[in-house]
Amino acid sequence: MQESIRVLVVDDEEPLRRLLKKELTRKGFSVEVAADGRAAVEILKENTFDILLLDIIMPGIDGISLMKKLQSDPASPAIIVLTGRATVETAVEAMKHGAYDYLTKPYKLDELVIVINRAYEYGKLSMKSRLFQQELVRKDTPAEFLCTSRQMKDILALIKKIAPTDSPVFIQGESGTGKEIVANTIWRMSKRNSFPFIALNCASLSENLIESEIFGHEKGAFTNAYQTKNGIVEVADKGTLFLDEIGEMPLGPQAKLLRFLDSGEFRRVGSNKALVVNVRLITATNKKLAELVKKGEFREDLYYRLNVINIQVPPLRERPDDIPGLAVHFLKKYSREMSKQIKEFTPRAIETLNTYAWPGNVRELENVIERAVILSDAESIDFEDLSMPAQPPKELSANPSLEEIEKDYILRVLREANSNQSKASHILGIDRKTLYLKLKKYGIG
């Protein structure tokens, strides 16, 4: 376990550097040394360390000056100050600039090893805390995967198979079909679910901002880069990164994303230091990436790298069996949020929902139900509360099944009967119980 802890010793006393490198390496640590602060800065530009063992008084850049340089970088190592000329003032100064602990020479090696291990654990917790505060972590994002239709049940079955793996997942579907819910469900069913799920919409950012958001940037990397920023790949370390609308990503960041996918290695904007994280990547788009590849607007090699596991989310109009269940889910959700006692939809309201084509998919359905809950003062939602946009009802497919024809005919009769089931059953020539069973079968009422 200790061999993974990387230590940089910074001290101007050559015998001490040699001794620490020998003894700490023997204890299982990975150790590098620097003779002064300037040499340490150069090493830190190219390498990452978990622990910095730092002398205070050195020629050139002394320990306090080096700590001030590192203080603005959330990815800097945990610092343990080592000095033979300790005073209360230097101890206070060191702690003020971020030192984890302060040891006075001479010290026992076993004591130093204990402090290094503690500082390492502290550094991991501190880094995680800072990163979680900086970015939106979607760990609490509701991800209730509701499925009644055959298509969505098949998708859920596929999710259960692929979730335990680390393979990239590519989700395609129209806007509002629930691609992020699919991604979130994959994360929740994966072995990474105790670590973050981070989502970024690529369509909302410019090329420079996308690169900075994903990989982070160093202080001064560009105008207004007043401090170091950790990228979401760091926040998502050991967890899952979801890049929505990946088809909107410009070609420049695509090349860096491809390199990251191949190695897990990345560099912040304005930095030459290679950092490594371990994330699972899920991407989504409402565009046809294969066509963008042909046009030269999306890298072919990245497309194949992302498209390891492909999930096609059908539009809501192609899975009408899901409409009633989703509508009830949103009704309960917004009734609870608005402290209303709305319990159900009237048959006319259900009919209206079922016959609408839903160009905005599930997102539009949710918005309609939310608005209806706001407007309704009754215990049930009627079709007037839905305030549906004017649109002709869905047309039957070119070769409708017998069930589609029957459902369409029942809906038309219900409309003519103003949702009066007794009258509708009389027109249809069936008893009310038979009508009730057919309405239940088709999710109408």
pLDDT digits (tens, 9 = 90+) for 38-52: 888 888 877 778 889
- 390: pLDDT strictly greater than 70: no
Residue that has been written with the tokens 């990239």 in this structure:
168
Q: Which segments of the chain belong to CATH 1.10.8.60?
A: 316-392
The rounded distance, in Å, linking the Cα atoms of 286 and 104 is: 61
| 3-state SS assignment for residue 276 | strand
Distance CA 76, CA 111 (A): 23
**pLDDT of amino acid 154:** 95
| Res 430: pLDDT | 83
The topology under which CATH files domain 316-392 is Helicase, Ruva Protein; domain 3 (1.10.8)
Any bridge partners for residue 67, and if so which? Answer: none
Helix (H, G, I), strand (E, B) or coil at 158: helix
Tell me the pLDDT of the chain averaged across its residues.
Answer: 83
**Every domain range in the chain assigned CATH 1.10.10.60:** 396-445
Segment 152-160 mean pLDDT? 95
Q: Do you find a cis peptide bond into 106, omega within 30 degrees of 0?
A: yes
- The phi and psi torsions of 409 (rounded to 5 degrees) equal -65, -45
Average pLDDT over residues 391-407: 65
For the segment 135-149, the average pLDDT, to the nearest whole number, is: 60
CATH 3.40.50.300 maps onto the chain at 138-314
Residue 435 near residue 424 (C-beta atoms within 8 A): yes
From start to end of 227-321, where are the E strands? Answer: 229-230, 240-244, 265-266, 275-276, 280-285, 309-312
Q: pLDDT at residue 303 above 90?
A: yes
Higher pLDDT, 23 or 438: 23
Give domain 2-134's CATH architecture: 3-Layer(aba) Sandwich (3.40)
From the number of C-beta atoms within 10 Å of its C-beta (0-12, 13-18, 19+), residue 49 rates as: buried
Q: Under the phi-then-psi rule, with left for phi > 0, alpha for psi from -120 to 50, and beta for the rest, what region is 71?
A: alpha
Whole-structure pTM value: 0.61
The pLDDT value recorded for residue 2 is 42
CATH 3.40.50.2300 residue window(s) in the chain? 2-134
pLDDT of residue 175: 87
Q: Indicate the pLDDT class of residue 140, thresholds 50, 70 and 90.
A: very low
Domain 138-314 in CATH 3.30.750.24? The answer is no
CATH superfamily entry for domain 396-445: Homeodomain-like (1.10.10.60)
User: What value does the mean pLDDT take over residues 313-333?
Assistant: 93
Could you give the strand order of the β-sheet that contains 51-55, starting from the edge strand earlier in sequence?
Answer: 30-34, 6-10, 51-55, 78-83, 99-104
First-last CA distance in the chain: 61
Alpha-carbon distance 430 to 18, whole Å? 95
Contacts of 159 (CB under 8 A, 6+ apart): 145, 182, 185, 186, 189, 311
